[in-house]
Amino acid sequence: MGRERRPHIGIFGRRNNGKSTLINFLAGQDIAIVSDVAGTTTDPVKKSFEITGFGPVILIDTAGIDDTGELGKKRILKTNQAIKTIDLAILVITKNTFGDFEKGLIEKFRKQDVPFIAIHNKEDLELLHQETLEKLTEAGAKEVLHFNSLNGDIEPIVKSIKKTIPESAFTTPSLLGDLISYGDIVLLITPIDIEAPEGRLILPQVQAIRDILDNDAICIVLKEREVDAFLRKTAIKPKLVVTDSQVFLKAGASIPSDIALTSFSIMLAHFKGNFSAYLQGTPKISELKDGDKILLLESCTHHTSCDDIGRVKIPRWISNYTGKQLEFVVIAGLDEIPGEMSDYALLIQCGGCMITPKQLGNRLQPAIDAGIPVTNYGMAIAYVQGIYKRAVAPFAKIEDSSLDYL
């Protein structure tokens, strides 16, 4: 299971509250530096961890929310950014200290709809007071636990995590299960070009293969140059064809019109994006004007080639389609978006194969709230290449058959 499918759990609190010690106990190994010196943790530290009877999760150890100085401000910014990426928060306090720093964190949890449990750490030094327990409960803590590194009993914490983490964080819906069934043949068109990773397939292609097998269907994988010969020689009629968005035109010309056709990116858009918002936002490409600024969001960082999809191809295709002078801004990973969201006329999100649905949703929501149209790499490419209606049709019908997006 890739990290983008695992629930993310963040550990928050003031400096020297024992957050790193706690994460080491939970993970069963020393993955975070432990020191008596406050502020040892700088950037968030991530570690995969298997919870018995539950499954794999990602633990995130963050810097102290009370850090100081210019560098401390940057660490706090990273800590606050981590809240947008998690499914469950653990708030660590000591010595019954519950003040503005803790209240500020809890308010951020609330705004991001992140449930949290509280842990009173270093119980060997001072026991949890009833008054503190009541304050934490009143503030919204799902449970309030205590811990100390002398006995290291993490079982109550593990039970609380299993009880509190949202079900949506660990359920795994099917990528294509609504479109295929037992015995169906699915054709995957996977170009091997300069952007293809050496010796392997990209993650969406691998995920599609596994999902097809999980649905007891038949998967056939080939390159775009082999499609015509394959269909001619075998006379096989696939139930569905999924192509790389960059060869939409070739796929659209090769695949008969009575066979459903979509792309890996559009598949992911339906799987973890706000598909309804994408459907409404994509046609806004036709309304772009000279001077408009377009924001492209990539979920990962990677080496960029001379014909990079986000930095070169999509800007070229959209500029050629609209005939307008446009400005394109590309942000990789989960970095902060520069300027105000209102500065942008359109947001284009990649498939998001490397991030969780919650993380992707948090990237899109500010634009949606601001009334900025949003779309997806595959849907934008299909639109400007004149294959949009066909490419989104399989999933648009699932989304809401009563709405005429097409």
* Helix-helix angle 388-399:264-272, to 10 degrees: 30
**pTM of the complete model:** 0.75
pLDDT in tens, the chain (406 residues): 455 668 899 999 999 899 888 888 887 755 544 444 444 445 577 888 777 667 788 889 899 999 988 888 888 998 998 998 899 999 999 999 999 999 999 999 999 999 999 999 999 899 999 999 999 999 999 999 999 888 778 889 989 998 998 877 666 678 999 999 999 999 999 998 766 667 788 889 999 999 999 999 999 999 999 999 999 999 999 999 999 999 999 999 999 999 999 999 999 999 988 999 999 999 999 999 999 999 999 987 554 554 688 889 999 999 999 999 999 999 987 777 888 999 999 999 998 888 888 888 888 999 999 999 999 999 999 999 999 999 999 999 765 544 444 4
- Measured distance CA(122)–CA(172) in Å, rounded: 37
Query: What does the block give as tokens for 320?
Result: 């050629």
pLDDT at res. 192 = 85
Pairing, β 55-61 against β 45-51: antiparallel
Pairing, β 8-13 against β 88-94: parallel
Question: How many other C-beta atoms are found inside a 10 Å radius of the C-beta of residue 325?
Answer: 10
Q: pLDDT by residue (tens digit) across 373-392?
A: 999 999 999 999 999 999 99
Identify any residues that bridge with 120 across adjacent strands, giving them in sequence order.
93, 146
* 152 to 25, 29, 49, 56, 127: CA distances (angstroms): 7, 13, 17, 21, 15
pLDDT at res. 35 = 46
Contacts of 8 (CB under 8 A, 6+ apart): 57, 58, 60, 85, 86, 87, 88, 169, 356, 358, 359
Q: pLDDT by residue (tens digit) across 206-259?
A: 999 999 999 999 999 999 999 999 999 999 999 999 999 999 999 999 999 999
Give the residue ranges of DSSP H helices in 139-222: 155-164, 203-214
Contacts of 394 (CB under 8 A, 6+ apart): 179, 240, 260, 262
CA-closest candidate to residue 98, choices 41, 147, 137: 137
pLDDT at res. 149 = 82
